[in-house]
Amino acid sequence: MADERLLEVRGLKVQFATEDGVVHAVDGVDFALDRGKVLGIVGESGSGKSVTAMTILGLTRDVNTRFEGEVIYKDRNLLDLPENEMQQYRGAEIGMIFQDPMTSLNPVYRVGDQIVEAIQAHEPVDKRKARRRAVELLRQVGIPNPESRVDDYPHQFSGGMRQRAMIAMALSCNPDVLIADEPTTALDVTIQAQIIELIDQLKDDFNSAVILITHDLGVVAEIADDLLVMYAGRVVEHGGKRPLFYDPQHPYTWGLLGSIPRLDRPRSERLHTIEGSPPSLIRLPQGCKFRPRCPHAFEKCLEEPPLENRVETPGHLDRCWLTVEAKRAVRDETIEGGEPAAA
């Protein structure tokens, strides 16, 4: 039961044809998700995290989109499903919540009605029953007074409450996988922790698995089991949370870890940043996609490194040509004052 495989993504590529050229939004992503686990996908804007998530639900389908690879959910490849069958997976098998709770609910319908709509999209229950369930769901996500709040409109909810309502809606049909796409980015810091905790707790209550997408390693540090670091549409590092935090292998991961503000460092110290900006997804750099921004790049980086296991920990993969020894020697300058390598 603990190791029941729910979702497996294999060699996923997503390309958008635009007037300027083909955008390689996702360019080779592999991962697996088991029941009860939380997978964190980390990366900056434009790294392909959201496109990956939306593709799992078939929300990127369009005449101008091309897909490669497989998205296997319980033995079925979702990429091959026709739209009307895919529709039955959305919400019922895989639920999704989005970044901005302010705009993700329809302003003209009552919060409760929007949850009822989600329930009735998949189950033949009458409105009264669905409504009772909506109230129960709102209670479960911690909305006070759900019996009366169920009839509120979204604008009568605060940002945190709206995100809770979104979570209630996403869980309304008991999906096995919950995808949370930057669920806390638009919220106050105090609310962020509550929402993350809520997601973690509901994952256990609903016995599901979670994909948590974020650009903030601090957010996933608490609840993720596995981490996937994405850059320019591909996975640059993949592994368990502890090995990835304590023995990070890719210079991009070091950069992300280095840019988290820390309480144990003097305030006067400038926060570390990764120089430059992500590459254009239309004209990608040759070789390693991080090469133009990487302080440790050398000739070999003109050839793209494969995603492989290079360290002692099995299942910890990275995409960097540097030797493990070289990495461990140089990375602490980047993570500056970070934890010493555990290994």
Partner 1 sequence: MAAFFMRRFLGAILVLIAVSFITFVIFIVVPGGGPHGTAERIAGKNATPQLVIDIEHKWAFDRPFYVQYWKMMEKAWHGLVGDSNPDNKLLSYTTQQDVVQQIKQGIPATFSLTIGASVIWLFFGILVGVIAAVTAGRLSDRAITILALVGISMPVFWLGIVTRYFLAEKNTWFPDGEYVGLTANPVQWAYHLILPWTVLAVLYIGFYGRVLRNNILDTINEDFVRTARAKGLSRREVLTKHVLRNSLIPVVTLFGLDFAGVLGGGAILTEKVFDLHGVGWYAADALDKFDLPPIMGVTLYGAGFIVLLSVLVDLFYAYLDPRIRPT
Examine residue 92 and tell whether it contacts partner 1 (CB under 8 A): yes
Examine residue 59 and tell whether it contacts partner 1 (CB under 8 A): yes
Among positions 13, 122, 133, 319, the unique one binding partner 1 when judged by CB under 8 A: 122
Examine residue 148 and tell whether it contacts partner 1 (CB under 8 A): no
- On whether the CB atoms of residues 302 and 206 are closer than 8 A, the answer is no
SS3 219: helix
Examine residue 95 and tell whether it contacts partner 1 (CB under 8 A): yes
Integer angstrom CA distances of residue 257 from 124, 213, 244, 272? 48, 16, 10, 9
CA dist 88 and 76 (Å) reads 13
- Judged by CB under 8 A, the number of residues near partner 1 is 31
Q: Which stretch binds partner 1 (CB under 8 A): 115-123, 214-222, 257-265, 280-288?
A: 115-123
CA dist 208 and 86 (Å) reads 19
Nearest to 211 by CA among 35, 81, 2: 35
Least distance in angstroms from the C-beta of 88 to partner 1:
7
Nearest to 29 by CA among 233, 169, 190: 233
Among positions 5, 74, 87, 330, the unique one binding partner 1 when judged by CB under 8 A: 87
Q: Show Cβ contacts of residue 223 under 8 Å, excluding neighbours closer than 6 positions.
A: 38, 40, 196, 197, 199, 200, 210, 212
| Chain centroid offset of residue 113 CA | 28
Q: Which stretch binds partner 1 (CB under 8 A): 31-39, 86-94, 194-202, 263-271?
A: 86-94
Residues 65 to 84 in contact with partner 1, rule: CB under 8 A: 83-84
Least distance in angstroms from the C-beta of 174 to partner 1:
13
Q: Residues in the site for partner 1, rule: CB under 8 A?
A: 57, 59, 83-84, 87-92, 95-96, 98, 100, 103-108, 117-118, 121-122, 153, 155-156, 166, 169-170, 173
